[in-house]
Amino acid sequence: MVLRPVAEEDARGLASVEAETLRLTGTRRTMTLEELKISYRSRGDHDDQLDLSIIERATQRWIGEVVLNDLDTANGSCGLRILLAAENDYGCRFTIRLVLAHAFDTFGFHRFEREVYDFNPRARRVEKKGWLCTRGHQA
C-alpha cells in the first residue's frame, strides 16, 4: 500500500465504491463524477484535514482513502476516517499504521478520535482486533 495526497483522477475510484460500503461510513452518493473531481482537486487547500488516497503498490490501483480531519495542532489531536472500496483487513491495518505514524511523528499528535456507526461491522472489527493500538498504548 502507498498513501499519497488525493488527486483528481482518484475521483473515479470513489465514484465506483459500492453503495453498501458508502452506507457503512455514512457517505451519501450525491455528487456526480465531475463534482467528485472538483472536490478531490480542492482537498489539498484545506488546512484542517489531510486527505490521502490508498494505492495498491503492485497495480497502482486506487483502493480507498484515509483522512485525518479536525487537525488540532494546539491540542495534538485529530480525527481519523478510512474508506476502503472493498473489505480488506490487511489494507485497513497497514493504512491505519501508516497514517497514525505520520500523525504522531510528523505532526507530533498524541491523540486521535474516531466515530464508528454501530451498524458498521468492519469498523467494529478494527476496534476489536486492536489495530488502533500504537507504540504499545491503546490509542
Q: What is the pLDDT of residues 29-76, one digit of tens each?
A: 788 999 999 988 998 888 889 999 999 999 999 999 999 999 998 999
Cβ neighbours, 10 Å, residue 109: 19
The x, y and z cell numbers of residue 26, run together, are 455514512
> CA 124 to CA 130: how far, in whole Å?
10
Classified as helix, coil or strand, 113 is strand
Q: 2-131 has which fold?
A: Aminopeptidase (3.40.630)
Model confidence band, residue 23 (pLDDT cutoffs 50, 70, 90): confident
Element (H, E) at 123: helix 121-129
pLDDT for residue 130: 56
Average pLDDT of the segment spanning 79-89: 81
Bridge partners of 62, per DSSP, are 55
